[in-house]
Amino acid sequence: MSETRAFIPLNIAVLTVSDTRTEADDTSGGYLAKAVEETGHRVAEKRIVPDDIYRIRAEVSRWIADPDVHAVITTGGTGITGRDGTPEAVAPLLDKEIEGFGELFRAISFQEIRTSSLQSRAVAGVANATFIFCLPGSSGACRTGWESLIREQLDNRHMPCNLVMLMPRLNEK
């Protein structure tokens, strides 16, 4: 961390993708919203949508189009069952994929859940200068993604580099 830089709070939207979760039992989305706020960022909005690629895409698209939303974190729908479609919903929206995110997430997860990590299709990218991170639906996976990868990359004090430093240049042509 750089002690000379002031923290820049971001507006981060949280989307839970689930056919069964409600606000009352959304532990993963709840964890992410709390972690975002405890870090000093703001929760722009928190929503729950069913495992439907068009509903997911519509919600994420709305946030990508909103210049006040700097990042989106989704939880759920990244597995390999028939209803899991978050990567398919989000991929067409991305201007650029951050391939290393999924690779690192699975490598870190392997230390925690061993070979079960291969079932995760966690992805990340950027669209219209908005960072998007798609995490699995378990609260453990959300904790791993936030604490091991996302939190530092959304902190402009993290050195030697972070995603916040790139924000002014994301729309360069």
- Is-contact 126 94, C-beta < 8 A? yes
Evaluate whether residue 62 is within a structural domain: yes
- Is-contact 9 41, C-beta < 8 A? yes
Helix (H) or strand (E) holding 162: none
pLDDT (tens digit per residue) in 117-153: 677 889 999 999 999 999 998 899 999 999 999 999 9
Evaluate whether residue 5 is within a structural domain: no
Evaluate whether residue 4 is within a structural domain: no
Q: Rounded distance, CA 51 to CA 72, Å?
A: 17
pLDDT (tens digit per residue) in 51-109: 999 999 999 999 999 999 999 999 998 887 888 899 999 999 999 999 999 999 989 97
Give Cα separations from 139 to 9, 27, 57, 146 (angstroms): 23, 6, 22, 10
Question: How many structural domains compose the chain?
Answer: 1
Position 113 confidence tier, pLDDT thresholds 50, 70, 90: low
| Residue ranges making up the domain that contains 129 | 11-168
Domain at 133, CATH number: 3.40.980.10
- Is-contact 158 1, C-beta < 8 A? yes
